């Protein structure tokens, strides 16, 4: 009689093939390694026993392999136990990547440079700031991203800080305290204000550069800066972000702004010309109105063919007989000719 244990089918092992072929555990970030390893195993349909038996192939050193082989989770082929033992063994040596002090250091580094003043500076700062902030939120160093607004705001130059404040006050996004100070808004609103002011600053810098190239003799002396001029209405004292005329034309759908470019209602790009305000082009734009052509139609009655009046043969014969020309043509002797008169010489009786 056959042995029942020998007759039981043996489960076939499924090979684990992660998409990242370089996946190895080197002794740090054990939780991240286990997440990637489990994901690859589940996608391939591997069992918990397959995960235990194949994990030595994904260990980066012989010392780590020896440590895993000695764990009870490996000898009992229990993936849950082995995973807990690996986290307990190597989880404590995971290096903390960022702290709140890194946000402070990032802000201080930009202050030492004079603060963020250009769009390129802001993009570089933002790329590092977002990575640190995301880590601090994920690992609960900060309970909310709004706690980082001071590190974000004070990294800008003093002049640009004032522009951001003016924008937020105009938008009524800042709360005023009892002693007359303003509190910074949420980080999301602060980012929106920075982007708006940065786009305007970039636009103005580009215009000044083009003006300097086109008329170098009229360029202002180095170190001096003229009054702020709005390139939409050519009035001083404000930029395009705070231009009342631009806001009004946008509401009336007369112009559309995309970044630093302006478009007419028909989608045409308004080219930049320093000699005239952009609003002049908007005001002179006349949309083509397709007027329906009036159709003119003349009507008249139907025309009937004309025929000469019907004349009887007797009437025609009588008329023919009375016609002198016809009588002469027939040689009628009775044709009455006109009376001939004799001309007498003058002076004779």
pLDDT in tens, 119-176: 889 999 999 999 999 999 988 899 999 999 999 999 999 999 999 998 898 888 888 8
Q: Are strands 175-176 and 182-183 parallel, antiparallel or unpaired?
A: antiparallel
Q: Are strands 182-183 and 261-263 parallel, antiparallel or unpaired?
A: unpaired
Residue 4 has pLDDT above 70, yes or no: no
Query: Is the overall model pTM greater than 0.85, yes or no?
Result: no
Residue 40 has pLDDT above 50, yes or no: yes
pLDDT in tens, 169-186: 888 888 888 887 888 999
Question: Distance (Å, rounded) from C-alpha 24 to C-alpha 59?
Answer: 5
pLDDT in tens, 68-80: 999 999 999 999 9
Distances (CA, A) of 43 to 19, 47, 56, 335: 10, 11, 19, 134
Residue 263 has pLDDT above 90, yes or no: no
Percent of the chain with pLDDT over 70: 70
Question: pLDDT confidence of 106, banded at 50, 70, 90?
Answer: very high
């Amino acid at each position: 009689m056959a042995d029942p244990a020998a007759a039981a089918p043996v489960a076939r092992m499924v090979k684990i093939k992660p998409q990242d072929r370089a996946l190895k555990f080197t002794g740090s970030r054990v939780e991240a390694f286990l997440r990637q390893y489990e994901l690859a195993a589940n996608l391939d349909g591997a069992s918990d026993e397959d995960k235990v038996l194949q994990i030595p192939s994904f260990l980066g050193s012989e010392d780590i392999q020896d440590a895993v082989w000695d764990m009870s989770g490996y000898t009992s082929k229990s993936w849950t136990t082995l995973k807990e033992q690996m986290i307990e063994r190597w989880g404590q040596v995971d290096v903390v990547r960022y702290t709140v002090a890194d946000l402070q250091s990032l802000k201080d580094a930009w202050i030492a440079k004079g603060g963020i003043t250009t769009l390129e500076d802001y993009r570089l700062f933002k790329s590092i700031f977002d990575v640190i902030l995301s880590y601090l939120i994920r690992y609960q160093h900060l309970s909310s991203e709004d706690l980082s607004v001071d590190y974000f705001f004070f990294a800008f130059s003093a002049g640009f800080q004032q522009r951001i404040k003016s924008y937020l006050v105009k938008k009524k996004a800042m709360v005023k305290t009892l002693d007359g100070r303003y509190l910074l808004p949420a980080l999301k609103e602060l980012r929106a204000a920075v982007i708006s002011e940065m786009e305007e600053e970039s636009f103005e810098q580009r215009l000044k550069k083009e003006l300097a190239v086109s008329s170098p003799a009229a360029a202002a002396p180095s170190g001096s800066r003229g009054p702020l001029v709005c390139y939409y209405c050519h009035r001083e004292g404000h930029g395009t972000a705070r231009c009342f005329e631009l806001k009004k034309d946008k509401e009336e759908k007369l112009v559309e702004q995309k970044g630093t470019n302006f478009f007419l209602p028909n989608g045409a790009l308004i080219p930049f010309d320093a000699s005239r305000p952009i609003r002049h082009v908007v005001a002179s734009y006349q949309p083509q109105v397709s007027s329906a052509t009036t159709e003119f139609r003349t009507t008249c009655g139907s025309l009937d063919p004309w025929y000469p009046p019907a004349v009887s043969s007797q009437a025609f014969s009588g008329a023919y007989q009375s016609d002198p020309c016809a009588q002469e043509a027939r040689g009628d002797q009775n044709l009455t000719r006109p009376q001939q008169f004799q001309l007498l010489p003058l002076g004779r009786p």
